[in-house]
Copies of this chain bind each other. A is one copy, B any other.
């Protein structure tokens, strides 16, 4: 015996959260019981509401409880500029930079044939319909700079070119504040290849 059955069950279910191991789950459960029962109930309520009501925006596939998300309905954003990202969190990260005023399309993954993830799984058919609409003047590929991300970007760029849409890829180079000494050769090669005239 370690804890009462209900407490053991709570500790066990808390472990479904990413990064939460047995010790952390124990600490969370005990802290909620000791001085956060109202918070615990609020969390339960908000979990149920979110799990049951949040779907995907029918246009850009970001998480949204409405059919079309706020970004897609916004009249202040350029519908002709489409940024393609892998995950919903990427949208949030890009929004924080305040440097992009177009719209998004979220793939919810990347091409990975070995894992059985092909064009269908990442919404390519839906993306094609956007391209066929004819009002997109530029597609910005902001998939991750990984092998899978690059392959996915390449696949989409070929498709966009067939629709005569200009395609760009976010710059790969050195991070602001980093030191050349610690940068991997591949990134540095990209930084040289993508050098800009000043």
Contacts and interface: CB of A to CB of B under 8 A. Distances in A.
Interface of A: 1-7, 9-10, 13-14, 16-19, 24, 26-34, 36-37, 39-54, 63-66, 69-71, 87-89, 92, 95-96, 108
**Dominant secondary structure at the A interface:** helix
13 contacts: A1-B71, A1-B95, A6-B46, A7-B54, A9-B49, A10-B50, A13-B46, A16-B39, A16-B43, A17-B28, A19-B27, A40-B50, A44-B44
A167 to B, nearest CB: 26
Given A2-B96, A32-B51, 4 more contacts: A4-B70, A14-B43, A19-B28, A33-B63
B10 A70 contact: no
A110 to B, nearest CB: 14
B9 A18 contact: no
B50 A7 contact: yes
Contact of A13 (B24, B26, B42, B69): B42
A13 B48 CA distance: 12
A88 B30 contact: yes
Contacts of A17: 17, 28, 31-32, 43
How many copies altogether? 2
A10 to B, nearest CB: 4
Contact of A6 (B26, B28, B41, B49): B49
A-B pairs with the 4 shortest C-beta distances?
A16-B39, A44-B47, A44-B44, A10-B50
A192 to B, nearest CB: 32
A64 B30 CA distance: 12
Contacts of A14: 43
A36 B16 contact: yes
Q: Which of A42, A50, A53, A63 has the most CB of B within 10 A?
A: A50
